[in-house]
Amino acid sequence: MTPLRWFLTALSFAASIGVSVYVVASSWPAGGAPLGLPWGSHLLLLAAVGLEIVFRVLKITFSAKAIGVHAPFGVAARTILGGDFAASITPSRSGAEPARFLVLTEAGLQVAHVLLILFLELFLEMVSLAFLAIAFGIWWHDQSGIVRGILLTVGVYSIGVLGTGLLGVVLARRRAHGPRPRLVRWMGIGSGAWRRIQMSLRQLRTSAGSLRRAHRGLMLTALGFSVLHVVGRLAVLPLVTAAYGENAPLSSLVLWPMALLYGAAIAPAPGGGGVVEFAFNAALGNVLSPRLMAASLIWWRVYSFYIYIVIGAVAAGRTVMQALRRNRRELAEGGELGSP
C-alpha cells in the first residue's frame, strides 16, 4: 500500500461514514429507536460473526483436503481474515485474493496448491450464492425482482471466477516455458520474477489433475460450509431488527442485504465509499419503520463489515502487510535483474 492508496482508502471510509451520518441525521425521528442494543443481542451477533468465520475456515480446510492438500485450521483462519482485511482497504475488494495467496505461501504451501485452493474457494462461493438465490426465489416467489438481481450479480461473479480459472489453464499450457512476452516486459516484470511465475505455472499444470480426482464427499462438505457461511452473514440484519422488536418481512431482511453485500464488490472505492449505506437506505426505507432505520443501518454495517476489518487486522494484518512489502521488493529485484 502506497501513501496515495492509504489516502484514497481513508477518503473512501470517510465518505462511507459521512453517508451513514447523513442517513442517521435525516431518518432518525423524535422518539426513534435508541442506538444501544441489549448485551444479549450483541452476544448473538458476535456468535453469528464467529460461526460465519468458522464456516469459511472449514470450507477452505475441507476443500484443500479434497484435493490432497493439508491446510491447518490456523492457517486457513489467517487466510480468510487476511483476505477480509485486504479486501476492506482495496478498491472493489481487489486485494482479497492476493492477500490470501501471500498468507498461504507464507505458511509453506506450494504455489500450485495455493492457486487451486483459492480457485476452489471462489468457485464454492459462486455455487453457494447461486444455490441460495434459487432457493430464496422458490421460497419467496413474490420477491422475484430482487432474486433476479442477485442471480445477475452471481452471473457476473461466475464469469470472473471461471475466466480466471481458464486464464490460468491457458497460461500453464502456453507460457510455462520460454522468454518473457512483450506484455510482461511492458508491465515491468523482470526475467527473475518471470522465471518464478513460469515455475508456478508448471507446478499448476502438474497439480491441476488433482481437481479431477478430488474427493466428492469432502468437496460437498466444503460446499455445505460455504452455504452456511453465507447464511451466517445474512442473519445479521434479522437479528438486529429482532432485538428492537421490529416485525419486518424476513424476505426483505435477507434478500436486500444479500444483494448489497455481494453487489458491493463492484463499487470501485474501498469500503464502498458510501454506496452501500445509500443503497441500504433506498432499498429498506419502505421496509423498516422510520424509528428503526438509522439504528439498524449502523449495527448491520458494524457486524457485517467493520468488525471484519478489526478482526482481520488483529489476526493477519501484520502478516499481510509484511508479505505485500516483501513481494513488492522481490518484484523490484526481479525487474532490476531483468533490465538491460
pLDDT band at residue 338 under the 50/70/90 scheme: very low
Q: Is 164:119 a contact under the CB 8 Å cutoff? A: yes
Q: Is 63:219 a contact under the CB 8 Å cutoff? A: yes
Give 185-201 pLDDT, tens digit per residue. 554 555 555 555 555 55
Say whether pLDDT at 298 is over 90. Answer: no
First vs last Cα of the chain: how many Å apart? 28
- Count the alpha carbons within 13 Å of 72 in the hemisphere toward its beta carbon: 7
pLDDT computed for residue 172 by the predictor: 46
Query: Would you tell me the crossing angle of helices 144-174 and 111-139 to the nearest 10 degrees?
Result: 160
Taking CA atoms, 241 is separated from 252, 260, 288, 293, in Å, by: 12, 17, 9, 10
pLDDT computed for residue 161 by the predictor: 53
pLDDT computed for residue 336 by the predictor: 45
> What global pTM score does this model have?
0.76
pLDDT band at residue 257 under the 50/70/90 scheme: confident
For cell 525487474, name the residue.
335
pLDDT computed for residue 321 by the predictor: 64
Give 126-155 pLDDT, tens digit per residue. 889 889 988 988 888 877 777 877 777 766
Greater pLDDT, 13 or 231: 231
pLDDT band at residue 66 under the 50/70/90 scheme: very high
pLDDT computed for residue 232 by the predictor: 93
Q: Is 79:73 a contact under the CB 8 Å cutoff? A: no
Set of cell numbers at residue 230: 453465507
